[in-house]
Amino acid sequence: MSLLVVGLSHRSAPVSVLERASLSADAQAKLLHDTLAAEPAAEAAVLATCNRIELYADVDKFHAGVAELSTLLAQHSGVGLEELTPYLYVHYEDRAVHHLFSVACGLDSMVVGEGQILGQIKDTLALGQELHTAGRLLNDLFQQALRVGKRAHSETGIDRAGQSLVTFGLEQLAAGAPVGDWAKGKRALVIGAGSMSSLAAATLGRTGIDEIVVANRTHARAERLVEILGESGTAARAIAMADVARELTRVDIAVSCTGATGLVLTGEAVALAVGESLSAPAAPADAASADAAIAEGCPVAFPATAAAGAAMAGFGLVDEALRADGATAAAPDAAAAPDADSLELHGSWAENTERRIARERKDIPVPAGPVKLALLDLAMPRDIDAAVHRVPGVRLVDIESLAEASADAPMAADVDQVRAIVSDEVAAFGAAQRAAHITPTVVALRAMAAEVVAGEVARLEGRLPDLDDKQRSEVTQTVRRVVDKLLHAPTVRIKQLAAEPGGAGYADALRTLFDLDPDAVAAVSRADVNDADVKNRGRS
């Protein structure tokens, strides 16, 4: 069996595709079950965040595995396979391990060094264990990925190479001014009370902002976040979602990160909140341009004032679209250094690996006059209508603009240290897996040897019935020592050889040379998997 990952991320796909391909919790669970039901896969795990969707599996056939995993991703994401395929990347065996370890270290993040992904990897592992879709390989893989990520953050300055997405977003809103100076005297509205919203609220609190207002569909979760902020000395209060419209007219900053599948704040609602009108976009040159604009979520015309007033009354909240009370979009993950190695086995699929989608750069617009309302959208799919760019006095920073702003950010020297750590850990993981692959064969060999010793000792007792207990014990120990010494050097050496690249064949050679029963070897492997499963459930 071999490790395979098929996925798409901010490095390979535009935001519009990632938004449409996002997976709910139920969709992730069904995807895992369907992956195991597919013939090529024996284990599965799905890593789904704001800016990546990756399906990991232990497969017995590469090409069949790629085809099946790609088809399943298309089915469960709702994006057609033909449309999705150009944005997919594939990693196999050691390359797949290298990719996940890089992700865990923050090397494949939108903002290099951003550490939120570690929590998401932990959640991925927990879901695989809960649904029993993660076996020994994926348990080992994701647990080591967590250790590698923690090691990178503790042993290097990768945290200095990049910043949390929240901090980076606030710096973009501040447009070059120190965030602390920019936020001083301001009031902020935080929509959502999940992990990213809570991080945003805490980050704003550290800037010395005057007050934070928290809105969430489940009021109790908003109250809990307010309580936590209060403990750190930040003035905060909770409001109902129905009161967001009123609060938006009073605050200077609004941060949104919910689990809504549609817009939470419409362009018209934001325009009315700041007492401005939404300027009309330039007229499309032709019908095709209009269709393209609509597909990108940019309406070519807006409703009349009466309709806008109705939107204000509902404040553009997609109430029924929220996936769950207090649900938030998964925290944005991680970024950066592509793996230069390639596998010929990938064929045409490898051409999509590390692929960047050519996009027209869109600088984050800064209003000519004073900024009345600064908006930070950390959700995927987006919470805030991109049309608010056309509202005078409003500045919007979202996931897409953050990706563009950070694309050319300088890499710190610490990144090289993290890359070295990743390379070392990949080699160690591969060696451990190859050694583990031969262990059941070695155990079966020793079990067979023990049976031979027991049989010969029993036969000797039949021939020499007058042996006393001490003599019988000495004979038994002598035979065992002889067998152990004969087996010691070959088994130690074969474990060493098996741990090296290309060493998988030694297990087959050992089974052939000693005519080991395949069922006995398989029984040892099953016992190891069951023991690991019980141990992992105890950790989670």
Is residue 122 within 8 Å of 146, Cβ to Cβ?
Answer: yes
**Residue whose C-alpha is closest to residue 92's, from 60, 124, 129:** 60
Is residue 190 within 8 Å of 229, Cβ to Cβ?
Answer: no
Q: What amino acid is encoded at 258 in this protein? A: T
Question: Tokens 């710096």 belong to which residue?
Answer: 171
Is residue 39 within 8 Å of 432, Cβ to Cβ?
Answer: no
Q: Which residues pair with 7 in a beta bridge?
A: 54, 89
397: left (phi over 0), alpha (psi -120 to 50) or beta: beta
Neighbours of 46 (CB within 10 A): 24
Q: Which residues contact 374 (CB under 8 A, 6 or more apart)?
A: 173, 252, 253, 254, 394, 395, 397
Active site residue 257: no
Q: Which of 50, 105, 257, 298 is catalytic?
A: 50
| 78-95 CB burial, b ≥16 within 10 A, e <16 | ebeeeebbebbbbbbebb
Q: How far apart are CA 423 and CA 37, in angstroms?
A: 33
Strands (E) located in 149-260: 187-191, 211-215, 236-239, 253-256
Catalytically annotated residues: 50
